[in-house]
């Protein structure tokens, strides 16, 4: 990594750049990574995207980052985020793959850095899909672990009961290597030879872009032809899951920012300030109902996953929004961009299941359409192998 590489940042992916060398030897030696600006790296900016914290620096490095440095990866800088992790756009950062379209968020700077080639992988946080959405927007892979598998120490929170530290990488090999370090699993090739039991989501609610729904039909047929046991699986209440998720996120975020005075709130990022204003209108009954819905969804998903190795869904139900778009079409209805973007990703935050996101090998779009592969709770290490096998069989 030379000084010129550190200076180049045409997409405004980085808040601050600096090389911190990893251990001399380890499974990630030779790889470089960035870290989202809501995860602490000692002496680096730690603003979480808020003007209020624009000079704040971290005192101690988060354990998740320490593990990657200890495995030999070299840190190169802090990457931009939507303010506080509230958004799905990262408006200050350009998408290096398709500049006319959003880079996604809230880990948009992390995705842009990897897509541009500034680093091999980047660390982000995922509360409703915030590593998976930007990976989908830039043709990359991503990993959200089982809830609680990776420490959230050193992370500026959005919703502690849904926050996950995750990874965006340029390919499945790097994703698996870095992901296994993150979850403290053996660095081995676990691509299975045996056939898998795969569920492919069927869109009973009519929410998916027609092109994505058609792709799922092809994926199901292709994987069955490769010898896997494939079933079509509906997810009950898809249209209501995002509403419950949004209520929970805003109610918990309101508690985190409750001690700020009016002046301090005025210096938060726009997405955060807007979210907190919405939170003021939530009733205790609505929050309790959202948690009851979440428990019911989690129970149903545990039953659904009992006989499956992997559940395949689109990462995004909608075509990639253009820069500046405020609303998108979702199932014939105009909804805010963040609702459309997070509709399919937020389920795994509510249930805690691990997910790997990868570009659809059968897609000819730029960027390719994106698939998310959900595994059983705790199946994180196996999921990397399942993703590799499915990716190979879809080629």
Same domain, 139 and 225: no
Residues 98 and 231 in one domain: no
- On average, the pLDDT of the chain sits at 96
Is there a single domain that holds both residue 224 and residue 85? no
- Residue 202 shares a structural domain with residue 119: no
Structural domain for 319, as ranges: 197-241+281-393
Q: For residue 165, what is the domain's CATH number? A: 3.90.1300.10
Distance CA 115, CA 316 (A): 18
CA–CA gap between residue 91 and residue 105 (Å, rounded):
9
Residue 151 pLDDT exceeds 60: yes
Q: Residue 193: which pLDDT band, with cuts at 50, 70 and 90?
A: confident
Give the pairing type, strands 164-169 and 14-20.
Answer: unpaired
220 in the same domain as 108: no
Band (6; pLDDT cuts 50, 70, 90): low
State how far Cα 246 lies from the chain centre: 16
pLDDT tens profile 297-323: 999 999 999 999 999 999 999 999 999
How many domains, the chain?
2
User: Which residues have CB under 8 Å from 86's CB, separation 6+?
Assistant: 106, 158, 253, 269, 271, 272, 274, 275
Q: Tell whether 66 and 119 lie within a shared domain.
A: yes
Q: Binning pLDDT at 50, 70 and 90, where does residue 8 land?
A: confident
Check whether residue 27 and residue 76 sit in a common domain.
yes
Single pTM value for the model: 0.96
Backbone torsions φ then ψ of 319, nearest 5 degrees: -65, 150
Question: Known catalytic residues?
Answer: 36, 106, 130
Is residue 8 in some structural domain?
A: yes
Residues 178 and 201 in one domain: no
Domain final position from 142, 158, 182: 182
């Amino acid at each position: 990594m030379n000084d010129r590489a550190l200076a180049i940042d045409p997409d405004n992916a980085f808040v601050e750049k600096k090389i911190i060398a990893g251990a001399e030897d380890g499974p990630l030696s030779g790889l470089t990574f960035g870290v989202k600006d809501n995860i602490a790296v000692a002496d680096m900016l730690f603003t979480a995207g808020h003007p209020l914290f624009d000079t704040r620096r971290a005192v101690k490095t988060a354990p998740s980052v320490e593990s990657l440095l200890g495995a030999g990866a070299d840190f190169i800088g802090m990457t931009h985020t939507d303010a506080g992790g509230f958004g799905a756009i990262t408006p200050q950062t350009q998408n290096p793959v398709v500049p006319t379209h959003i880079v996604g968020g809230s880990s948009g700077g992390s995705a842009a850095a990897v897509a541009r080639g500034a680093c091999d992988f980047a660390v982000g946080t995922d509360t409703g899909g915030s590593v998976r959405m930007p990976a989908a927007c830039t043709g990359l892979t991503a990993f959200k672990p089982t809830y609680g598998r990776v420490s959230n120490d050193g992370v500026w929170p959005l919703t502690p009961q849904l926050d996950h530290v995750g990874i965006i990488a340029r390919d499945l090999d790097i994703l698996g290597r870095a992901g296994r370090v993150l979850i403290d699993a053996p660095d081995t090739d676990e691509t299975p030879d045996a056939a898998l039991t795969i569920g492919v989501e069927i869109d009973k609610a009519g929410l998916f872009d027609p092109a994505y729904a058609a792709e799922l039909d092809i994926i199901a047929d292709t994987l069955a032809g490769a010898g896997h046991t494939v079933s079509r699986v509906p997810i009950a209440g898809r249209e209501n899951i995002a509403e419950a998720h949004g209520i929970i996120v805003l109610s918990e975020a309101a508690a985190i920012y409750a001690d700020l005075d009016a002046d301090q709130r005025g210096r938060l990022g726009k997405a955060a300030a807007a979210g907190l204003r919405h939170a003021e209108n939530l009733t205790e009954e609505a929050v309790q109902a959202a948690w009851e819905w979440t428990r019911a969804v989690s129970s149903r998903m545990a039953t659904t996953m009992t006989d499956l190795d992997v559940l395949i869904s689109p990462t995004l139900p909608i075509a990639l929004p253009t820069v500046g778009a405020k609303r998108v079409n979702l199932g014939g209805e105009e909804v805010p961009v963040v609702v459309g973007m997070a509709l399919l990703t937020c389920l795994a935050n509510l249930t805690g299941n691990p997910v790997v996101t990868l570009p659809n090998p059968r897609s000819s779009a730029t960027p390719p359409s994106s698939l998310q592969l959900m595994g059983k709770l705790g199946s994180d290490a196996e999921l990397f192998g399942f993703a590799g096998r499915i990716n190979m069989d879809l080629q």
